[in-house]
Amino acid sequence: MANKNDRPIFIKRIISSKKAHHGGAWKLAYADFMTAMMAFFLLMWLLSAVSPVQRQGIAEYFNMPLKNAIMGGQRTGMDSSIIDGGGRDISSPEPGTTRMSDGTRRSNRIDEQTLKDAQGELERRDQARLHDLQVKLMSAIDANPVLRQFRQQIRIDSTQQGLRIEIVDTQKRPMFALASNSVQPYMRDILREIGKALNDVPNRIVVQGHTDATQYAGGEKGYSNWELSADRANASRRELISGGMDEAKVLRVIGLASTQNLNKKDAFDPENRRISILVLNRKSEESMTRDDSSATTITSNPLNPGNATPDLGALAPARPAAK
């Protein structure tokens, strides 16, 4: 009988089963997401750091179709690179500049001499229009029997600002009632005839009122030559419009009192009382319009915290007797 100790010994090893592997696809997706976010924020940072001109250059570059960029075709820039396309040089702050393949920069802007020639041509055309207006006004005055007798009181000449039409007062033929802005009948006829002719040119006008040095009894404290000259200029504006002139042509109405006398030697000369109609040339009109648009209005008034409009009628003294 066999010995019990000779029986085979069995060793049972239990191996724990491992969980199935999920793979690394999510890592790739996460890496792609982080790369895209990094690229997005980098793009936003770059766009915030460049100037508007450089951003426009970037936009022009990406507007080039891929087919034209690779195979050639109409280009948006003037770079001499093998690949056509691209816009102006975005590394230059100046618009209209293209960087060539050799590193040099090329300007696409219009030549300064060409620009000057174009401006000179516009000025010559403007001057020709004003000259034609001058001839037409003089012809209209000579052809009108009513206006012909006042030919000596109407002066038309060219200035640096444009064509100046002056209607001059005389002792025998005043344009307005004494110390008033009431227009005399003959003056009304002259202004309305001029108003018709002014519509033939696109130029805008400035109406100026002038007086002599004779002052009111109250001097400059009350109603003075400043108010009188401004009122007469505005009355002349109304007559021009009544004659058929477009009201939008009036750019300014100014009262100059006796600051610009026609007779420098005699400030009391009746000829100093006049109305000036300045037909502006293109350069003067642009200058005045630019000055008006760049003006700044201050609304806060330390003397008037509520920005209330003061009663000017209560502050103004009584009007003195007419001179």
Q: Do 99 and 40 share a domain, yes or no? A: yes
Q: Per the domain annotation, does 23 fall within a domain?
A: no
The span from the CA of 186 to the CA of 175, in Å, is 8
pLDDT at 273: 92
> What secondary structure does DSSP assign to 293-311, as a single string?
HT-------TT-TT-PPP-
Last residue of a domain, one of 107, 134, 153: 107
User: Among 192, 194, 204, 209, which Cα is nearest to 251's?
Assistant: 204
Q: Do 83 and 126 share a domain, yes or no? A: no
Q: Per the domain annotation, does 227 fall within a domain?
A: yes
CB of 35 closer than 8 Å to CB of 42:
no
- Phi and psi of 265, rounded to 5°? -80, -30
Q: Do 282 and 157 share a domain, yes or no? A: yes
Q: Do 139 and 276 share a domain, yes or no? A: yes
Q: Do 214 and 136 share a domain, yes or no? A: yes
User: Among 181, 186, 185, 198, which Cα is nearest to 240's?
Assistant: 198
User: Among 110, 98, 101, which Cα is nearest to 61's?
Assistant: 98
Q: Per the domain annotation, does 319 fall within a domain?
A: no
Q: How many domains does the chain have?
A: 2
How many Cβ atoms from other residues are within 10 Å of residue 322's Cβ?
12
Q: Do 174 and 248 share a domain, yes or no? A: yes
Where do we find the tokens 């064509």? 163
Enter the tokens of residue 71: 């195979």
> Which residues does residue 164 pair with via DSSP β-bridges, in sequence order?
157, 278
**2 alpha-carbon distance from chain centroid:** 123
Q: According to DSSP H, which parts of 144-184 are helical?
A: 145-148
Domain that holds residue 171: 116-294
pLDDT at 133: 84
How would you write the pLDDT of the chain (323 residues) with one tens digit per residue?
Answer: 556 667 777 777 776 666 666 667 888 889 999 999 999 999 888 878 877 777 777 777 777 666 566 655 554 444 444 444 444 444 555 555 555 545 555 555 556 777 777 777 888 888 888 888 888 888 888 887 877 888 888 888 888 888 899 999 887 788 898 888 999 998 998 899 888 888 888 889 999 999 999 888 877 788 899 999 999 999 999 999 999 999 999 999 999 999 999 888 999 998 899 999 999 888 888 888 887 666 555 555 545 544 444 444 444 444 444 44
Last residue of a domain, one of 89, 107, 125: 107
Q: Per the domain annotation, does 321 fall within a domain?
A: no
Q: Do 65 and 138 share a domain, yes or no? A: no
Q: Do 241 and 122 share a domain, yes or no? A: yes
Distance in Å from the first CA to the final CA of the chain = 164
Q: Do 103 and 157 share a domain, yes or no? A: no
CB of 246 closer than 8 Å to CB of 199:
yes
Where do we find the tokens 């200029």? 233
Enter the tokens of residue 286: 């642009």
Amino acid at 194: I
User: Among 232, 248, 247, 122, which Cα is nearest to 169's?
Assistant: 232
Task: Check residue 64 and report its DSSP letter.
Answer: S
The span from the CA of 246 to the CA of 242, in Å, is 9
Q: Per the domain annotation, does 15 fall within a domain?
A: no
Q: Where are the beta strands (DSSP E) in the chain?
A: 97-99, 105-107, 154-158, 162-168, 205-210, 250-255, 274-280
pLDDT at 205: 93
Q: Indicate the burial class of 76 (C-beta count within 10 angstroms; 0-12, 13-18, 19 or more).
A: middle
